[in-house]
Amino acid sequence: MKISFSPSAVEELRDAVNFYDYQSPGLGLAFKKEFYEVMDFIQLFPNGWQKVGPNTRKCILKKFPYLILYIVNGEELFITAIAHQHRHPESYLR
């Protein structure tokens, strides 16, 4: 399954990694590792997570207060946002 990211999702991922690295060296790497582990599960079961909009699904990270919002379009997985759960993620929905 092909994965693509919106420009804002790329920026959100980078910002989260930088934020956690600033808090504690190596924590950003832990965030990134969990993010990509979750992405592996999403690829295996793209329709396995809660639908939160007409085309959008969400998957919540376990160790960090972030969720991944994505759209499945055939064999493409489009990541629309990597949203902090306490920063109004509903504004990301499409």
89 CB contacts (<8 Å, ≥6 apart)?
58, 67, 69, 81, 83
Determine whether 48 is exposed, middle or buried from the number of CB atoms within 10 Å of its CB (0-12, 13-18, 19+).
Answer: exposed
Pairing type for strands 76-84 and 2-5 reads parallel
Residue 12: predicted pLDDT: 95
Residue 90 forms part of a structural domain: no
Residue 92 forms part of a structural domain: no
pLDDT digits (tens, 9 = 90+) for 73-91: 999 999 999 999 886 655 5
Residue 35 forms part of a structural domain: yes
Residue 91 forms part of a structural domain: no
The CATH number linked to 18 is 3.30.2310.20
Q: How confident is the model at residue 92 (pLDDT cuts 50, 70, 90)?
A: low
Mean pLDDT of 6-20: 96
Residue 93 forms part of a structural domain: no
Residue 75 forms part of a structural domain: yes
pLDDT digits (tens, 9 = 90+) for 23-59: 999 999 999 999 999 999 999 999 999 999 899 999 9
CB contact at 8 A, 71 and 78: yes
Residue 30: predicted pLDDT: 98
Q: What domain range is 72 assigned to? A: 2-85
User: Two tokens at 70?
Assistant: 């994505």
CB contact at 8 A, 70 and 59: yes
